[in-house]
Amino acid sequence: MITLTVNGKAHQLDIDPATPLLYVLRNQLELNGAKYGCGLGQCGSCTVIVGDAPMFSCQVPLAAVGARPVRTVESLGTPQQPGPLQQSFINHQAAQCGYCIAGMIMRAQALLEHNPAPTRAEVVAHMEPNLCRCGTHMRIVAAVVDAAEGMRAQAGGKTHLSSLRPAELVEQAPTAAVSHARRKRQ
């Protein structure tokens, strides 16, 4: 038996320890936020937070999780009461087909937990491993920046500074930063 803690709840599982975490989340625990995209750790639609780090759950065998807690997008809010980051994605209409969004939100959540005041460039660099085939990256970046500012304002009473909206971001495309990050990684 393997004990896996997901979204604060411990689960006893009688399963092969080599099973990818994604399969356990979707098939055994029926948490369908993380999606199967490529199965190769190249798209990020399966991103969850393990311990305090975003990880591609399609590439993480259950045994590698160990005692670290796992969090999925289901832990951040509900359809009736979305969390601040989820609400920002809604406000910015960051989802088109929506397939990548749970992974994007979890990667962004990990960033904001480590760095509650990221610059736009830091958001772009952090989000780079996750792909959106519909091309809503600029809206996603705007949603993360806006959520960070909103959460800081709520926590510290500071003024909510972001007024960026997707149409205004066209001239600020992250393409150069993303291309540079990809070249650097190769």
Using a 10 angstrom Cβ sphere, with 0-12 exposed, 13-18 middle and 19 or more buried, the burial of residue 78 is: exposed
Dihedral sign from CA coordinates of 48, 54, 58, 62: negative
CATH code assigned at 61: 3.10.20.30
Do 88 and 177 belong together in one domain? yes
Number of domains the chain contains: 2
Tell the residue number behind the tokens 């920046």, with chain if given. 145
User: Is 143 among the domain residues?
Assistant: yes
Q: Read off the pLDDT band of 152 (50, 70, 90).
A: confident
Burial class (CB in 10 A: 0-12, 13-18, 19+), 171: exposed
CA 132, CA 73: separation in Å to the nearest integer? 17
Average predicted confidence (pLDDT) for the chain: 86
Question: Which residue, of 73, 101, 117, is where some domain finishes?
Answer: 73
Among 122, 22, 114, CA closest to 73: 22
Residue 6 lies in a domain: yes
Confidence tier at 172 by pLDDT (50, 70, 90) = very low
> For 109-118, how does the pLDDT look when each residue is reduced to its tens digit (9 = 90+)?
999 999 999 9
Collapsing DSSP states into helix, strand and coil, what is residue 2?
strand
pLDDT in tens, 63-100: 999 999 999 999 999 999 999 999 999 999 999 898 99
**H-state helical runs in 28-186:** 62-65, 84-91, 101-114, 120-127, 137-156, 175-185
List the CATH number of the domain containing 93. 1.10.150.120
Asked whether the predicted pLDDT for residue 9 surpasses 50, the reply is yes
pLDDT at 145: 96
User: 30 CB contacts (<8 Å, ≥6 apart)?
Assistant: none
State whether 10 and 63 are in the same domain.
yes
Picking from 33, 48, 73, the residue at the C-terminal end of a domain is 73
Least confident of 49-58, 62-71, 86-95, 177-186: 177-186
Q: What is the pTM of this model?
A: 0.82
Q: Range of 62's domain?
A: 2-73
Residues 64 and 91 in one domain: no
Task: Please tell me whether residues 97 and 25 are part of one structural domain.
Answer: no
**pLDDT at site 19:** 97
Distance between CA 125 and CA 20 in Å, rounded?
26
* Assigned domain for 79 exists: no
Domain co-membership, 100 together with 31:
no
